[in-house]
């Protein structure tokens, strides 16, 4: 059975569920526990990546540099990673991140916009870091389009290219089809990142591995946007039981999850709105923004999410959620104070 590499994104995707309010001290504590468990790569930033802390995406409790330095100081074996979305984070942000200890850049674009990653990938390679291409909202297009965009990232220097189920909208058969096709056309390893809005994150990740993916993501206790991500400790247990090689200690990754628990604002659950996220194919990080809009305009958040899905909005359009909710309230003659 092949060796499976796990990248943990608790301290980045998990920021969404924490309203980006992890403290550097908390991140250092969780990072040290992940490192002790044998995690290979630990991703740290605002939930929307480098420079994501803003009025539009939500202000974090500290700066990216403070978070990165805090975690870097605790690591003995794991590589420190940072996510960057071109158009939000800049090349200067990347240079600052490398000085803070980053060894891996995960460069994310919408699945049809890989071309905007060329400059950032080139800089990452120039600085000697590992480069991961992250094709978000991969459920919205067919396997041929994903392959076309993945090949662009490969040509820019990506060491790994991910199929990313940002909305938690995929089912196992779709994951297998898209991941296996990508494996057949790329020379670099294929990765997979799941969300749990339909309760399929672990199952979809196993389907991706069965289809040839050798790099996958998880978060402790599944902490993340929407209904959360693939639960790292569950994934480790499942992969080991299936016979795959995973360089992580099961007991220690479970202990790391226990370390996280007191910091969590609430248990990561699949509630009704999360189900609609996956059903409608809406970006998982829109959930908390939608709750706020629903409260402001006295609407059912499920109705807003279905409308967002119908309009096919993508990551980066968080401000549009309020516009949509306002329009819906006007049509229902709801008075907003």
Same domain, 230 and 149: yes
Note whether 39 and 145 are same-domain residues: yes
Number of folded domains that form the chain: 2
- Is 26 within the bounds of a domain? yes
Residues 229 and 86 in one domain: yes
In the predicted model, what is the mean pLDDT of residues 214-230? 96
**Pair 104, 65 in one domain:** yes
Q: Is 156 annotated as a binding residue?
A: no
Q: Is 176 found in the same domain as 78? A: yes
For 186-214, the pLDDT digits (tens) are: 999 999 999 999 999 999 999 999 999 99
pLDDT for residue 229: 97
Q: Tell whether 276 is covered by a domain.
A: no
> Comparing 321 with 178, which gets the higher pLDDT?
178
Identify the pLDDT of residue 82: 98
pLDDT: which is higher, 137 or 55 = 137
* H or E segment and range at residue 136: strand 130-136
State the sign of the Cα–Cα–Cα–Cα dihedral 268, 273, 279, 283: negative
Read off the CATH number of the domain in which 314 is found. Answer: 1.10.8.60
User: Is there a binding annotation on residue 13?
Assistant: yes
pLDDT of residue 112: 96
Query: What is the distance between the alpha carbons of residues 148 and 250, in angstroms, rounded to a whole number?
Result: 37
Q: Which one is predicted more confidently, 309 or 175?
A: 175
Which one-letter DSSP state was computed for residue 134? E
**φ, ψ for residue 176, nearest 5 deg:** -60, -45
Nearest-CA neighbor of 293 among 281, 302, 283, 284?
Answer: 302
Known binding residue 244? Answer is no
- Told to judge if 110 belongs to the known catalytic residues of this protein, a careful annotator would answer no
283 annotated to bind ligand: yes
Is 302 one of the annotated binding-site residues? Answer: no
Q: How is residue 234 annotated by DSSP?
A: H
Is residue 274 a part of any domain in this protein? Answer: no
Q: State how beta strands 79-84 and 104-110 pair.
A: parallel
- For residue 163, being part of any structural domain is answered with yes
The reported pLDDT for the residue numbered 316 is 66
> pLDDT digit string (tens) for 133-173?
999 999 999 999 999 999 999 999 999 999 999 999 999 99
Q: Examine the domain organization and report whether 251 and 312 are in the same domain.
A: no
- The stretch 22-27 carries a mean pLDDT of 98
| Residue 337 pLDDT > 70 | no
Same domain, 304 and 220: no
Q: Residue 241: which H helix or E strand, with range?
A: helix 232-242
DSSP-derived 3-state class of residue 188:
coil
pLDDT given at position 57: 84
User: What is the rounded CA–CA span in Å between residue 196 and residue 239?
Assistant: 17
Judge whether residue 227 has pLDDT over 90.
yes
> Same structural domain for residues 249 and 297?
no
The residue from 3, 16, 20, 110 that is catalytic is: 16
Domain region containing 189? 5-262
CATH number at residue 102: 3.20.20.70
* Share above pLDDT 70 across residues of the chain, in percent, rounded to a whole number: 98
Residue 96 dihedral angles phi and psi, to the nearest 5°? -65, -40
Residues 197 and 247 in one domain: yes
Residue 80 phi/psi, 5-degree rounding, is -90, 130
Let me know whether 309 and 214 are in one domain.
Answer: no
Of 178 and 316, which is predicted with more confidence?
A: 178
Q: Give the whole-number percent of the chain exceeding pLDDT 90.
A: 82
If asked whether residues 256 and 293 sit together in one domain, one would say no
> Residue 305 above 60 pLDDT?
yes
Domain-embedded: residue 313: yes
- Which pLDDT score is estimated for 283? 78
Lowest mean pLDDT among 11-25, 120-134, 263-277: 263-277
Assigned domain for 299 exists: yes
User: Is position 67 within any domain?
Assistant: yes
User: Is the same domain home to 37 and 136?
Assistant: yes
pTM of the model: 0.91
Average the pLDDT over 95-102 and give the result. Answer: 98
Mean pLDDT value across the chain: 94
pLDDT at 96 exceeding the cut of 70: yes
More confident residue, 283 or 299: 299
Summarised one tens digit per residue, pLDDT across range 311-322 is 887 766 777 788
Q: What is the CA radius of gyration of the chain?
A: 19
Q: Check the annotation: does 284 bind a ligand.
A: no
């Amino acid at each position: 059975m092949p060796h499976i590499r796990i990248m943990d994104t608790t301290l980045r995707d998990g920021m969404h569920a924490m309203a980006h309010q992890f403290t550097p001290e908390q991140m250092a504590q969780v990072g040290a526990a992940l490192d002790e468990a044998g995690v290979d790569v630990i991703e740290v930033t605002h939930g929307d990546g480098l420079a994501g802390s803003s009025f539009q995406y939500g202000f974090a409790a500290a700066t990216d540099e403070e978070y990165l330095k805090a975690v870097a100081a605790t690591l003995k074996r794991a590589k420190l990673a940072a996510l960057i979305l071109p158009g939000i984070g800049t090349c200067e942000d990347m240079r600052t991140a490398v000085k803070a200890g980053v060894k891996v850049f995960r460069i994310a674009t919408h699945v049809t916009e890989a071309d905007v990653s060329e400059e950032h990938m080139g800089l990452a390679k120039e600085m000697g870091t590992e480069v991961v291409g992250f094709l978000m909202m991969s459920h919205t297009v067919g396997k041929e389009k994903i392959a076309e965009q993945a090949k662009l990232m490969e040509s820019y220097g990506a060491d790994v290219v991910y199929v990313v189920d940002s909305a938690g909208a995929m089912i196992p058969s779709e994951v297998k089809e898209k991941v296996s096709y990508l494996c057949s056309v790329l020379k670099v390893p294929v990765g997979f990142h799941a969300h749990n809005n339909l309760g399929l994150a672990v199952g979809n990740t196993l389907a991706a591995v069965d289809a040839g993916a050798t790099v996958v993501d998880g978060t402790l206790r599944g902490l993340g946007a929407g209904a959360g991500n693939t639960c790292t400790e569950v994934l480790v247990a499942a992969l080991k039981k299936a016979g795959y090689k995973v360089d992580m200690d099961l007991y220690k990754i479970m202990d790391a999850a226990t370390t996280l628990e007191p910091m969590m604002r609430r248990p990561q659950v699949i509630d009704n709105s999360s189900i609609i996220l996956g059903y409608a194919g809406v970006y998982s990080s829109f959930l908390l923004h939608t709750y706020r809009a629903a409260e402001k305009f006295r609407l059912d958040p499920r109705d807003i999410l279905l409308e967002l899905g119908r309009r096919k909005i993508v990551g980066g359009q968080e401000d549009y959620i309020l516009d949509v909710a306002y329009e819906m309230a006007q049509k229902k003659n709801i008075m907003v104070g």
